[in-house]
């Protein structure tokens, strides 16, 4: 496992935990947020890819969070500074 996979894995674990806490299936969440596919969401949860920032609003809405809180927590879990990356 390379460093990026480990970084995204922590964020994916957090996202999966939220989904399970809200009693949503991957298919239900994927539909709610407009994800490309259920498999794509699985790759996010497994840490195989990063979550695109343009979907933060949908995820935040699904978990009754502000976009700012969702983005901040996701970034903390992934150890990413989005301001620095921009």
Topology of the domain covering 3-79: 434 Repressor (Amino-terminal Domain) (1.10.260)
Give residue 78's pLDDT. Answer: 86
The model's pTM is 0.83
| pLDDT one digit per residue (tens) for the chain, 86 residues | 455 555 788 999 999 999 999 999 999 999 999 999 999 999 999 999 989 899 999 999 999 999 999 999 998 998 865 554 44
Q: Provide the token pair at 39.
A: 């498999």
Whole-number Å distance between alpha carbons of 62 and 5: 25
Give residue 85's pLDDT. Answer: 46
- Tokens 């995820």, residue located: 59
Angle at 75 between CA 69 and CA 81, to 5 degrees: 120
Give residue 86's pLDDT. Answer: 46
Whole-number Å distance between alpha carbons of 71 and 46: 18
Domain ranges in the chain are 3-79
């Amino acid at each position: 496992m390379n460093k990026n996979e480990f970084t995204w894995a922590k964020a994916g674990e957090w996202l999966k935990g939220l989904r399970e806490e809200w009693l949503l299936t991957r298919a239900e969440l994927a539909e709610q947020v407009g994800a490309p596919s259920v498999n794509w969401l699985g790759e996010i949860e497994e840490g195989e890819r990063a979550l695109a920032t343009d979907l933060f609003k949908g995820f935040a809405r699904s978990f009754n969070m502000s976009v700012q809180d969702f983005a901040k927590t996701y970034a903390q879990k992934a150890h990413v500074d989005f301001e620095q990356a921009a």
